[in-house]
Amino acid sequence: MSNNTSRSTRHFVAPLEETPLVAIDAVKVDEKPSNLWIDAWRDARRRPIFWISGVLILLIIAVALLPSLFSPINPLTEACSLSNSNGDPSAGHLLGFTKQGCDVYARIIYGTSTSISVGLIVILLTTVLGVAFGAFGGFFGGWVDATLSRLGDIFFSIPYILAAVVIMSVLSQYRSIWTISLAIGLFAWPSTARVLRAEILRVKQADYITASEALGVSRMKILFQHVLPNSIAPVIAITTISLAGAIVAEATLSFLGVGLGGSIMSWGNDINQAQRDIRVHPQTLIWPSLALSITVFSFILLGEVVRDALDPKARALR
Amino acid sequence: MAGYIFRRVLQAIPVFFGTTFLIYFMVFAMPGDPIVALFGDKTPNPAVIEQLRQQYHLDQPFIVQYFIYIGGIFRGDFGISFSGEPVTQILARTFPVTIRLAVLALLFQSIAGIVVGLYSGLRKGKLFDSSALVVSLILISLPIFVIAYVAQYVFGVQLGWARTTVGSGAPLQDLVMPALVLASVSFAQIVRLTRSSVIETSGLDFVRTAYSKGLSRRRIVPVHILRNSLIPVVTFLATDFGVLLVGATVTEGIFNVPGVGNTLYQAIIRGEGPTVVSFVTVMVLLYLVVNLVVDLLYGLLDPRIRLVK
């Protein structure tokens, strides 16, 4: 009888010497388990365009923070001289002069922080509004979702540059980096909300959410500790591209003359001023346009890498 | 299908009231005098102010003003432009030009975008695909007014291939360059969308079945792969219509195309607030209608969509 029992035990527990040691060694207990963010970083750092766009963006941010390091002339304090009107490049003035006789290079350097600030404020605004609308709607469903989604539809149905044109026309006496960011961000958030809502609807179905519910964890705690952290990746993925979109929107509004006031250094303003002389002096239009395009290009490139890295499906398309 | 149309039209009603209310609210519920605010730095003639006050019924409470305004829209009355011409009359004159420009641009961007996207998707990772990716990223990064000015300067001023501004009556040959500029904005997006859609569809079982049945590539690519890859592209074209409207405003302004966008452009740069509001409203309504029509067509083409509650 006792002999029988020991024989049956042998069937279930393999003797230690039969398990190859290589297999045990392959399980690294002390290594941190991989997750989406670590995988994304591993994927991104292997791609040259991540490093190219990263270096460009760091350089642009440095110019935005410390313009005086890059340009000896400070266009905010040094008056422009009309005797230099539409002047050609000369020593110390690499890119020539604008119609008002200002140094083109110095204006570009000092205009960088405007674009970057507007971009950052807008994505902060669209992320906060988009996450609030998308998270509550997607998670609670029912009438909350219906109300928030319909509100989102209304804001989504007005192209955000057109909405910003109206807001900036009304706020014509209060033109600043803050008002223009508000005007753009107020109508740009529904796409963020839609992306997050769709992801939350998916994550909500997961077993670990059901388990938390069964354990009696409060709804709010489930949303903020389990659902939101696991569905934020697509929002992060579109953020960099939205930032580029916000920079373009500011430049477009300033180009139309309803953006920032003339006293604020902005590439859009400079392009607006230069357009009248495009036939005789195209350089003053080309340089700020180039600065704008390179900045937008850098953020779009980074956005591509981030999106590919965070979305395994996008990785397969490469 | 009737149920689907009914549901979709019913959904459009709150959006119609919501968007018009929002625009009206942004302009007329702000603190201070909305008429003065709309003119910015300029001080308009007191007679003009008085006339606008009457036109917008500013002596009435805000909500009454809004419904008077909505009543006007239903009767086809979008107000009077700054020059004293009714907005509807301006629309009758400028709308055909914008339609011609938009159709031309849509044709350019869809044909070129789908062809390049299909070719890229079928040759994933090859030289053509990588070059198309780089070109499309560069195009996405260039704001439309930059593209418009570069095209105007290079092809109009330097090379003399096209006229820098559009002649009266907007003949089709003058619209080619503005339409190409307008098309360049969404061309890149269509390339990328078609490409990823083609790659995805090519990996599906029915494509493999088609190959194993012995069908030729010349039949599989257009019939099985391309046709099934175009659904997201069509949806994109509808939602992208807003981008097209903004693009048309800038492009028509720069090339002086006598269209709806140019009227808005001129009103914006001259700071004629009330006209800006009227034309933005017209464009938003146009955007709503286009999206509604595309959704209905879409339900007609794809039964799965009209069955979803």
**pLDDT tens by residue, A6-63:** 444 445 555 556 555 666 566 666 666 677 788 888 888 888 888 999 999 999 999 9
Chain A residue with the nearest C-alpha to that of B193: A317
- What pLDDT digit, counting tens, does each position of A79-117 carry? 676 666 767 777 667 777 777 777 888 888 988 999 999
Between chain A and chain B, how many beta carbons pairs sit less than 8 Å apart?
Answer: 139
| CATH assignment at residue B143 | 1.10.3720.10
CA distance A138 to A144: 9
In a domain, B216, yes or no: yes
Of A166, A275, A318, the CB nearest to B26: A166
SS3 A58: helix
Helices (H), A13-66: 21-26, 36-44, 48-65
Question: In sequence order, which residues have a C-beta less than 8 Å from that of residue B257 and are 6 or more positions away?
Answer: B97, B98, B101, B166, B170, B175, B178, B251
Residues paired with residue B86 on neighbouring β-strands, in sequence order: B80
Average pLDDT over all residues of chain B: 83
A146 in B contact zone (CB under 8 Å): no
Closest to B294 measured CA to CA, from B74, B12, B49? B12
B interface mutation test: which of A56, A162, A189, A275 has the most B CBs within 10 A? A162
Of B291, B232, B250, B269, the residue nearest B105 (C-alpha): B250
Residue B144 domain flag = yes
Asked if the Cβ–Cβ distance from B246 to A172 is below 8 Å, we say no
Torsion angle defined by CA atoms of residues A174, A178, A181 and A185, in that order, rounded to the nearest 10 degrees: -100
CB contact under 8 A, A158 and B143: no
Computed over every residue of chain A, the mean pLDDT equals 83
Q: Of residues B46 and B184, which shows the higher confidence score?
A: B184
Interatomic CA distance for residues B266 and A256, integer angstroms: 9
Residue whose pair of structure tokens reads 């549901």 in the numeric block: B7
Distance CA B271, CA A58 (A): 38
Residue A111 to chain B, least CA–CA distance (Å): 17
In a domain, B52, yes or no: no
- Residue B115 tokens read as 């062809």
**CA nearest B152: which of B168, B176, B185?**
B176
The answer to whether A276 touches A7, Cβ cutoff 8 Å, is no
Please list every residue in chain A whose beta carbon sits closer than 8 Å to the beta carbon of residue B125: 318
Task: Please provide residue A103's backbone torsions phi and psi, each rounded to the nearest 5 degrees.
Answer: -75, 120
Residue A317, chain B, CB below 8 Å: the answer is yes
**Which residue is listed with tokens 């029988």?**
A4
A172 → closest Cβ in B37, B141, B153: B37
Q: Report pLDDT digits (tens) over B262-277.
A: 888 888 887 777 788 8
| 3-state SS class at A205 | coil
Is the CB of residue A169 less than 8 Å from the CB of residue A161? Answer: no
Q: What is the pLDDT of residue A1?
A: 41
Q: Would you say residue B54 lies in a domain?
A: no
Q: Which residues of chain A lie closer than 8 angstroms to B142, CB-CB?
A: 293, 296
Q: How far apart, in whole angstroms, are the C-alpha atoms of residue A269 and residue A280?
A: 19
> How far apart are the CA of B211 and the nearest CA of chain A, in angstroms?
21
Structural domains of chain B, count: 1
Q: What is the mean pLDDT of residues A177-203?
A: 91
Cβ contact, residue pair B26, A167, below 8 Å = yes
Is residue B227 assigned to a domain? yes
Model pLDDT, residue B31: 63
* Residues of B in Cβ contact (< 8 Å) with A294: 141
Touching check for A49 and chain B: CB below 8 Å?
A: no
Tokens 């902060």, located at residue:
A124
Classify residue B3: in a domain, yes or no: no
Would you give the end-to-end CA distance of chain A in angstroms? Answer: 64
Measured in angstroms, the CA of B37 and the nearest CA of chain A are apart by 5
- Is residue B66 one of the residues assigned to a domain? no
- Which residues is A90 bridged to in the sheet? A93
Query: Is A302 touching B (CB cutoff 8 A)?
Result: no
At residue A3, does pLDDT exceed 60?
no
Phi, psi of B80 (to 5 degrees): -115, 135
Q: Is the pLDDT of residue B299 over 60?
A: yes
Of B308 and A155, the one with more pLDDT: A155
> Which of A109, A157, A127, A110 is closest to A243 using CA atoms?
A127
Query: How much is the pLDDT for A19?
Result: 58
Categorize the per-residue pLDDT at B30 as very low, low, confident or very high, splitting at 50, 70 and 90: low
Q: What are phi and psi of A93, to 5 degrees?
A: -130, 75
Beta carbons within 8 Å of A57's beta carbon, 6+ residues apart = A298, A299, A302
Res A157 pLDDT > 80: yes
Q: What is the pLDDT of residue A6?
A: 47
Asked whether residue B135 is domain-assigned, the answer is: yes
Computed from CA positions of residues B66, B68, B72, B74, in that sequence, does the dihedral angle turn out positive or negative? positive
Q: Which site among A56, A151, A170, A305 would you substitute to test the B interface, given the most B Cβ atoms closer than 10 Å to its Cβ?
A: A170
Tokens 């890295």 — which residue? A309
Calpha distance A52→A54 (Å, rounded): 5
A57 within 8 A of A297, measured Cβ to Cβ: no
Query: Considering Cα of A249, then A254, then A258, then A259, what sign does the dihedral take?
Result: positive
All residues of chain B having their beta carbon less than 8 Å from the beta carbon of residue A300 are 137, 140-141
Cβ distance B22 to A162 less than 8 Å, yes or no, reads no
B144 and A279 in contact by Cβ < 8 A? no
Determine contact: A318 vs chain B, CB below 8 A.
Answer: yes
Whole-model pTM: value is 0.85
Contact A150 B41 (CB under 8 A): no
Torsion angle defined by CA atoms of residues A282, A283, A285 and A288, in that order, rounded to the nearest 10 degrees: 170
Q: Do residues B185 and B151 touch, judged by C-beta distance below 8 A?
A: no
Domain residues for the domain of B288 are 87-307
Q: Inter-chain contact B196–A317, Cβ cutoff 8 Å? A: yes
Shortest alpha-carbon distance between residue B2 and chain A (Å)? 22
* % of chain A residues with pLDDT over 90: 25
Q: Is B161 helix (H, G, I), strand (E, B) or coil?
A: coil
With contact defined as beta carbons under 8 Å apart, do B187 and B109 qualify? yes
Q: Which of A158, A248, A289 sits opposite B284 (nearest CB)?
A: A158
Say how many C-beta atoms besides its own lie within 10 A of residue A310's C-beta: 22
Which residue of chain B comes nearest to A302, CA vs CA?
A: B137
Residue in B13, B52, B149 to test binding to A, most A beta-carbons within 10 Å: B149
Q: What residues pair up with A97 in beta bridges, in sequence order?
A: A103
What pLDDT is stored for residue A8 in this prediction?
46
Of all helices (H) and strands (E), which one includes residue B147? helix B144-151
